[in-house]
Amino acid sequence: MGEGPPSLWEWIGRNWDTGRAGSIKDLLLDHLTMSLVPILLALVVALPLGLACVRWRWLYQPASGLMNVVYALPSLPVFMLLISVTGLTQTTVIIPLAFYGVAVLLPAVVGGLDSVPDHVRQSAVAMGFTPRRRLLAVELPIAVPVVLAGLRVVAVSSISLVSVGALIGQGGLGGLFTRAYQNPFMPPVIVGIVLIVLLALIADGLLVLAQRLLTPWVRARKGATS
């Protein structure tokens, strides 16, 4: 009698680190890279753009409208269009995900800065704060909860959307799904889904922790009212 298909754990053990491209470990590292880089790029772009939109209000509507159009574009056709420019590389996945992240973060940055009460700004001006010091020491810290709420959405969506890149050969853990499609076998699907969900939960948990560390006054206020 022939040997039956391997169990889930046997398959993981055989494929975790094979020393060749396409192992679970390599796909996981690729997925992390293609997820984290767009998140960081989106934050780097959205913060100054959001500050500019708050400073010059006429800029917000066209910038927001453009980002909404970008966000509405399906990821796979965008990947395919970029292949002619960036080739079959991770950059082809990273660039669209970064733009999607900016589309989500821009209103979060603007909304966070708009949430700063006027009397707080006036108090900072009365204390002699320069515009830059007021921004860094007063406005941005108060805006942190709203900005990080948007960043949590960006993180989870980026981690999920990376897998679509597997259709052009650059999808990280999404490669497990295409492998299972080509040779019907459930363990790669299970492993891919579980690892993607775990990455999303870890990223979300780290951002929640960062919010608590960056806004200690929120915990103090809750403790005072309890």
Q: What is the pLDDT of residues 91-134, one digit of tens each?
A: 999 999 999 999 999 999 999 998 888 888 888 888 888 888 88
Q: What is the pTM of this model?
A: 0.87
Q: What is the pLDDT of residues 131-175, one digit of tens each?
A: 888 888 888 888 899 999 999 999 999 999 999 888 888 888 888
**Domain ranges for the chain:** 21-217
Query: DSSP labels for the chain?
Result: -PPPPPPHHHHHHHHS--SSTT-HHHHHHHHHHHHHHHHHHHHHHHHHHHHHHHHSGGGHHHHHHHHHHHHHS-HHHHHHHHHHHH-SSTHHHHHHHHHHHHHHHHHHHHHHHHTS-HHHHHHHHHTT--HHHHIIIIIHHHHHHHHHHHHHHHHHHHHHHGGGGGGGT--TTHHHHHHHHHS--HHHHHHHHHHHHHHHHHHHHHHHHHHHHH-HHHHHHHHHH-
As its CATH architecture, domain 21-217 has Orthogonal Bundle (1.10)
